[in-house]
Amino acid sequence: MEIQRAVRVAVPGGIHARPAAEIVKLSKGYSSDLFLEYQGKSATTRSSFKLILLSLKEGADITIRAIGEDADRAVDDIAGFLEARQDNHTQDAAEEPAPPSAPADCADGRLGAALQLDRALTGIAGGSGVAIGPAFQFRQPVLAPFPPVAADVDTEIRAAMEAMQHVGQSLRRQAAAASGGTAEVLNAIAELSDDPEWHARIVGLIRSGRSAGAAILTAGKDLAEELAALEDTYARARSEDIASLTRLTALRLQGKQPISLNEVPTGSILVADEISAAEAGGTDLSRLAGIVTRLGSAASHAAILAKAAGVPAVFGVADPLALLEGAREIALDGDRGQVFPNPDASVRADIIAQRDRAKAEALALQALVDVAPRTKDGVAITVAANLGSVEEIAQAKAAGAMGVGLFRTEFLFMNRNDLPTEEEQFLAYQRLLQAFPEHPVIIRTLDIGADKPVRSIALPREDNPFLGLRGIRLCLARPELFKPQLRALLRAAPFGRLHVMLPMVTGTSEIDATVAMIDECRRALIDERKDIAPFVLGIMVETPAAVFAAQTLARKVKFFSIGTNDLTQYVMAADRLNPGVADLCRVDQPAVLSAIRMVCTAAEHAGIWVGVCGEAASDASVTQQLISAGVTELSMSPASILKMKNAVSGYVRE
């Protein structure tokens, strides 16, 4: 059986290392031969290298072709992954590198134009402010020349395979000790070490007479050059992963141990030609004062990891006079892409002053960690965290989150071939509630649909998935999905202040049907002698229907949480993922603000509270208007919490 299907790639950032590795994993579950075809080129889904070299961008129209007995299921699975608009917390795609900023004047405390032009090396801004510290030259062991010709073909092949296997296992051990996106990056590179295309090229070169080392270096160089020649910025940046994999494998062949970034002294400015994800991924980069590389881009894994760690960094620094090589001390401005080897007294003073100001501001915000903010006129505002997984709990607590305003349960269902059990869900919810015993924890029930499908749930293709079977509609249509989640929530409720909200509600019938299903689950759990407790039920307001029916809906639930992202796109009839209508997808549009005021008025009359869990909650330019409308809870990413607490304390509710 042969099946073909046309799909549009919706994976953010396109098919780079991590999505390619995920596709390879999916393919291993089927006996059929699977291929992706794009602009006359075809790539087997068994090879990450082949997939990356297709240079598939988000929005690319491609064909999936499968040949075999399970071709239909295989195509459904791959199509579901490619068409999924995944949450940003799982992405590692980066934007096009921005050019260095134009010189600023001294008036704002930044370096003056004379200092910038005469003394700074320039590169690609990696962000996170300024830094100064002793330079540490990071160099891996030098590879000795490999013999060009194989002494014995079979022996050389075994040596190459052992080296590749060792590197893959080492990367997976690093991944096991890491978390979140770092672990995913390392696992993706480990998958490359097992890639059949990589193996085939090396074996082919050895059989043609090359030694194992010469074959590895040649295959790695060729693949890196092929990636570097691609038009896509992110795909080009993946050539660094191949170069790193090549270097690690060659070092293993020579019995040399690669240097770890853990050996860099704390507080140093790291100077390197480039830093691979394999070198940076298993390290606490926050120990470093800063990072400077001669190569690399804002799309490199090192840049992504450095930004996540908050380390000032500049990449791709032009250094024609090799000033970095002999520098004892380095100052840098990560926001402007400027580096100062051996800075003089005036530059040192300026950088130190900027650094101290930033530290003072951060320290001042730390004083708000345990503060429950109020507006100037005394209105208490809850500032909570949006979380995508239980792994983000520590970050939220460190930021002073007043509970959880949105916990996306989709993470339990994503990136797996089977459904999570009731017990898995219960343990995740229990952990979340126990982490915030004094604050409400709002868990959103499963919010998926054809616009963001998961592999373990077969969903029909829809021409307009944003208006299709998604959110509460899907859950009510599929009680075999919904009931285990409701049972897990009832079992978790005794461990904290559990609030549950339903997504995509448009009318009271959906609430009534959910309440009936909750009662059914509650009775079954009582019969099973399971410990349970009631939870507070609310809804997300993200459809115009919910806005117009707000007065009736408010009598059915205990709270509203406004999802400003979807509400804005539905009110303005403008796709929030389409940059061509970005100006319409703004919460400060009069129509959207009017809708929010209608919801708050209905809630006030019913005696229930209103929160906001969309992106607008962390936008200081609109939050005062939200609070003035009647919003008393704002939920956002942990990184924005302290700044928003500070902003709230300066508001007056009009």
Which residues are known catalytic residues?
301, 613
- Phi/psi of residue 406, each to 5°? -160, 115
What are the tokens at 119?
């003394």
Nearest alpha-carbon partner for 309 in 49, 128, 123, 535: 128
Cα–chain center distance at 254:
36
3-state secondary structure of 312: coil
Question: Each residue of 610-619: b (16+ CB within 10 Å) or e?
Answer: bbbbbbbbbb
- CA–CA separation, 648 and 633 (whole Å): 11
- Going from the C-alpha of 631 to that of each of 171, 483, 550, 634, the distances in angstroms are 47, 31, 15, 8
Q: Which helix (H) or strand (E) holds 12?
A: none
Tokens of 571: 């009110």
- Residue 384 makes CB contacts below 8 A (sequence gap 6+) with 401, 402, 403, 404, 405, 406, 439, 440, 442, 611, 633, 634, 635, 636
Instruction: Using CB atoms within 10 Å of the CB of residue 363, give its burial: 0 to 12 exposed, 13 to 18 middle, 19+ buried.
Output: exposed
Decide: 651 and 634 in contact? Cβ < 8 Å: no
Q: What is the DSSP string of 347-371?
A: HHHHHHHHHHHHHHHHHHHHTTTT-
Sheet holding 2-8, edge to edge: 2-8, 61-67, 33-38, 41-44
Q: How far is CA 454 from CA 18, 474, 487, 497, 597, in A?
A: 16, 13, 21, 29, 35
- Cβ within 8 Å of residue 597, ≥6 positions away: 629, 630
Kindly give the pairing relationship between strand 61-67 and strand 33-38.
antiparallel
Helices 180-193 and 239-253, packing angle to 10 deg: 60
d(CA 538, CA 78): 35
Name the 3-class secondary structure at 102. Answer: coil
For residues 439 and 498, give the distance between their C-alpha atoms in angstroms, rounded to a whole number: 9
Alpha helices in 560-651 (DSSP H): 564-572, 590-606, 620-629, 641-648
Dmax over CA atoms of the chain, in Å, equals 86
| CA 220 from centre of chain | 28
